Structure 1
Amino acid sequence: MSEDADQAEDEPPKKSKLPLIIGLVLALAGGGGGFYATWSGMILGTESEHSDSADAEESKPNVDVAYVPVDPLVISLQPPAQAQYLRFRASLEVPTQNQAEVEKLMPRVVDVLNSYLRALEPADLEHPAILTRIRAQMLRRVQVIAGLQKVNDLLIMEFVLN
């Protein structure tokens, strides 16, 4: 019996898990509070209260624009594609004062768009979000040719795979 009593005395008592649980709850609460403070703009927020009215003014559509149509393109696709042709038609949104300059550059614009569309892989065209990516890439190429301030946007009017 004395052996059993000695073994009971040698074992240290179990430590409580309460401090660990309290620490975990406080860490989660602090992380959540920090996320909310950053997300709501209380911390690291650079916008002032007056920026809401400025944002409303900036969101108004610019009515001093013209739309320059891009000649329709028909691109033959490479053999592994399910479709044989891509029909593409677009318009460029330009400030009215730059319309004549952009119209003069239209052969270069058609060339760069044609080259870009021909370089696309057939698998790329089947991706669901390809239209957004293609639009951004083509707008960037057109802005390099015409100038950043001369072309506001590229509007895709027709994108048909036959």
Structure 2
Amino acid sequence: MSDQAAESEAKKGGSGVVPGIILGLVAAIGGYAVVGLDLLHLRPEEETPVEEPKYVAPAAGVFLDIPQIIVMNGPFLAGRHLRFRGVLEVRPEDADKVAVLMPRVVDVLQTFLRSVKAEYFDYPDAIDQFRDHMRHRVVDVIGEEPLIDLLILELVPN
């Protein structure tokens, strides 16, 4: 009996190995398919690359010279004056319109520059404030659309 029992146990053990290997292969293939095809949505979704907006240079404008402005700064006998020279950058299609209005631009800038006190030049950001104030006054005369920028070429207190 011992021989028969050993043979029957060997047959049972041998027959159990083959189905185990087959089940293991089926499980491995199934697991690979589930993960490879992402059937359970385990991978994070790939983000579509967002294109950065490219820098677009502003359209080239036409530069119109503002005639040099010299105003008295302070009491007449003190002899102090302020010299300004600048350029308006305007859209090409509006250059003729702005050139016609240049006397008004000079007048409004001259009025502003006469109101500037000599002490204002002691501040480090005075030039930026002057540009903002002058640009605002020019926009009042010619409008917002035509003006691209106001460039200060010279602003000298004497």
With the shorter chain as reference, the TM-score category is: 0.5 to 0.7
* 1:83 CA drift (Å): 7.7
**Whole-angstrom CA distance in 2 between matches of 1:97 and 1:62:** 12
Structure 1 equivalent of residue 124 of structure 2: 128
Which digits, 9 at most, give the CA deviation of each residue in 1:85-129, with x for residues without a partner?
111000000011000000000010000000001111221122121
Query: How much is the aligned-residue C-alpha RMSD, in angstroms?
Result: 2.0
- Equivalent position SS for 1:62: coil
The letter of the residue matching 1:158 is E
Query: Which segments of structure 1 move beyond 6 Å, counting only runs of 4 or more?
Result: none
Larger Rg: 2
The letter of the residue matching 1:146 is I
TM-score by length of 2: 0.63
**Whole-angstrom CA distance in 2 between matches of 1:69 and 1:83:** 27
Q: Percent identity?
A: 32
Task: Kindly indicate whether the alpha-carbon contact (under 8 Å) linking 2:72 and 2:82 is maintained by their aligned counterparts in 1.
Answer: yes
**Whole-angstrom CA distance in 1 between matches of 2:145 and 2:79:** 36
Give structure 2 stretches of 5+ with no counterpart: 1-49
TM-score by length of 1: 0.62
Structure 2 equivalent of residue 66 of structure 1: 62
Structure 1 equivalent of residue 53 of structure 2: 53
Give structure 1 stretches of 5+ with no counterpart: 1-48
Name which of 133, 140, 150 aligns with 1:144: 140
**Whole-angstrom CA distance in 1 between matches of 2:83 and 2:117:** 15
The letter of the residue matching 1:87 is R
Structure 2 equivalent of residue 110 of structure 1: 106
- Equivalent position SS for 1:153: strand
Distance change (3 Å), C-alpha of 1:127 and 1:161 = same
Task: Kindly indicate whether the alpha-carbon contact (under 8 Å) linking 1:89 and 1:159 is maintained by their aligned counterparts in 2.
Answer: yes
* 1:155 CA drift (Å): 0.3
